[in-house]
Chain A
């Protein structure tokens, strides 16, 4: 009897923690890495080769091509994964809290969450290569920006290359009812961030002014500000919500549709399909008060990285002309390093900054929940 009891008891004791709420593993403190002494480039290469491997998660699929070039140059093995923005955030958080070592560095988008969840909680930290500190503009250094991507108003120019509208408020008129497309902001956070930015006071003021310019009267508010008002008007005007920018580009750009109003707001880089998929697409560059938006992708170190030196070397490589080749071979993706070549016919970041809306991580983190709840009314 006693023996059975002991066995039963020890079984219970053994099994108890299984039912307890999960134990969190210790997270390595980012401060430790930050205080390391500065290595010269050669020292970094030597240390990286010593580690022999680097693992990266990225929201851009072309990281695979860059990794090939990096492997060829330094002989360091690479492992890349292409994830969606929220997947990446989820994965980094899960890895950090469960103590699993995964990525050494990430290329992430969605500034609000990256800042508010990953950087603030110490799962990631920003590292700027010594050699680039004086080249990359300071505003792109904290956290370090890997690339800048722009989404523009783009229309089907098969019938006419004349820009079909000049003011964002035109999209809310009867003429454009059910003719304008935008990817579901729930499926890509940068789109939700853009809509959040639209509600920021200084931008909504511009939108109010554009309203007055277009309708020749002051805007009457039924919501918090002109930004919300524009979002509401846009969705109520039968905005077509798409699931991917590729699909958007295709459905707008297919020839033979004979629609004079046919446009969307999606990534500029899809213009590469003009020839490969025989599409008719052209960006609008003079819309009031903005012609679209741009958002950064960040290159950030993981705090409990197994191969920190190799990761740092890879980040440095990615920010050079050579490392950025997979992206700069098409229009619409820009390095913060002004020395990186851009395509003929494309414009540098300095051209886009004044005509597009930027992403403010702090504003987005604080206000996106409110904008998303506002959107539920129109999206579902």
Chain B
């Protein structure tokens, strides 16, 4: 066969066309930004003119690297925040795995009561925006030392919270830990559920103690999932921005993302790009480790089959207590923050929780210059309405793009499984997951602010938000789709191919109907993530393209906490609402996308 004919044959198969196209596009959208960011760490930006004396915009400089890594400022500016970032990420993993793992074990392995409601509610903190709990923490525990008005806790109990408890490292770790606990719950729970209980029973028959079974059997089997959770939570916590920004700023506790926001947005983007680069490198290392471990896990799971009869551990006397304890804590974490937002959004005079101080002015008021510069209440505020419309529009478009491309990617990757191109595209499609959101936004800003060939300058356009969102959330959709497609036997489609049915029809009539639930999860995850995303978009939005989350951040910074609380409530309402509706209507759910069963 000639070279040309082979090429022709190759491109006769739709999945090869998809794969090649994806390869080119993803290469451009992931590798080129990496190169751009590296160049940016050596370039003079406009706002650095006052810093680097006598320089011109765009000229080469070593200033950023020498200042960030080797100057008297490096410790405060870079090394300390880096250390803080690692401490926060490790602490978050510990809290998330401890809480998530325990709940997963209780639900899959014991006879605890209220399992259905707990397992539904426990996912909530992950569905809600991460700063929800951070804001709730502030509403409750803020102390007058820094915040002026005391929080609800102090008002109710008259106990003043110490600074370390109210702000900084401890609350950041707690809040992020709770936010990612569902993640651990889903991954570890999935393994526990599929684990062959016969192994444990065999040990039990041989009179091994509970502790010994735990140590020798349960934990070793769960270990790979545990490590995998650890790495994923670690990289997510590392790139978290909103939570450290809310809880760390009052006591000047800095992590890399908050430093990055300050430098990228302020006077020295060069510094920020270096930090972004460092975070991406850590992310890639984590991916490499994760893939090694996942590879091992696959070998592990082949041994274990699904057990037909899992014997549940009896909690005996502790049953009622443990069940109630877990139920009440879950309720506290899910419901109480929402109540506190509602309360905070109605009070006028800060810190005064008496009924006479309640007012609906922040919801439906027409705005007076005495309060917050005449900003109308959020339900009749045109700029908030614009933000809401933009948020919903963005989430819908992004989920359509990311979801569809993800499905096609999953299809093409699993169809040509084993080829080099397939595994390259697989990795490229996962790469955006590792890029810290803010760094990702920064790169796209720097890359697409100017005209590039046939691509017009996209600075300040809605299209840029869609692009960055679609690429960032592609991994969610492609993971869900690859997972589903791997389980689908090739014969089903081949039967149709033999009958000469065109590809489009095969997709619509065969593949999509079979994989409906997984595909819908592939659309749902980008939608929800996009609705509650802050750090990815914070550098990219302009007044015309503002979205709810960035407005919330602005209001909070300005100190208009009633508006911030009200908007937060609005976002939670939309995110949770759409999740529930999709769940009810289609049966698809968010935990499917993350990797549970």
Contact = CB atoms under 8 A, between A and B. Distances in A.
Interface string B338-382: 000000000011111000000000000000111111110000000
A60 to B, nearest CB: 9
A276 B559 CA distance: 15
A81 B543 contact: yes
B483 interface: no
A369 interface: yes
Nearest to B72: A377
A240 interface: yes
B457 interface: yes
Given A18-B454, A20-B452, A98-B457, A257 B144 contact: yes
Given A4-B7, A244-B558, A380 B374 contact: no
Interface string A215-251: 0000000000000000000000000110111111011
B252 A380 contact: yes
B249 A243 contact: yes
Nearest to A97: B450
B492 to A, nearest CB: 33
Contacts of A65: 374
B459 interface: yes
Measured as residues with beta carbon below 8 angstroms from the partner, the interface class of chain A is 35 or more
A67 interface: no
A75 interface: no
Contacts of A254: 144, 148-149, 350-351
Given A22-B451, A376-B77, A100 B460 contact: yes
Contacts of B28: 18-19
Contacts of B7: 4
Given A14-B454, A91-B542, A380-B252, A61 B149 contact: no
Given A17-B452, A23-B450, A275-B370, A113 B252 contact: no
B559 A244 contact: yes
Contacts of A178: 145
B259 interface: yes
A251 B369 contact: no
Interface string A6-31: 00000000111111111111000000
Contact of A98 (B49, B349, B449): B449
Given A99-B457, A380-B76, A278 B451 contact: no
B454 A246 contact: no
Contacts of A1: 2-4
B47 interface: yes
A340 interface: no
Contacts of A121: 46
Nearest to A187: B557
Interface in B539-597: 542-544, 557-560
Interface stretch (B88-96, B110-118, B260-268, B520-528): B260-268
Contacts of A187: 557
Interface stretch (A35-43, A82-90, A158-166, A299-307): A82-90
Given A89-B47, A277-B349, A18 B453 contact: yes
B449 A277 contact: no
B289 interface: no
Nearest to B80: A380
6 contacts: A89-B47, A97-B450, A257-B144, A278-B349, A373-B73, A376-B77
Interface of A: 1, 4, 14-25, 57, 61-62, 65, 81-83, 86-87, 89-91, 93-95, 97-100, 102, 112-113, 116-117, 121, 178, 184, 186-187, 240-241, 243-248, 250-252, 254, 257, 272-273, 275-278, 326, 329-330, 365-366, 368-369, 372-373, 376-377, 379-380
Given A81-B544, A82-B543, A86-B266, 14 more contacts: A1-B3, A18-B453, A21-B450, A86-B265, A86-B267, A100-B460, A117-B47, A247-B147, A250-B350, A254-B144, A275-B370, A369-B50, A376-B77, A377-B76
Top 4 closest pairs, chain A to chain B, by CB: A251-B148, A22-B450, A17-B453, A247-B559
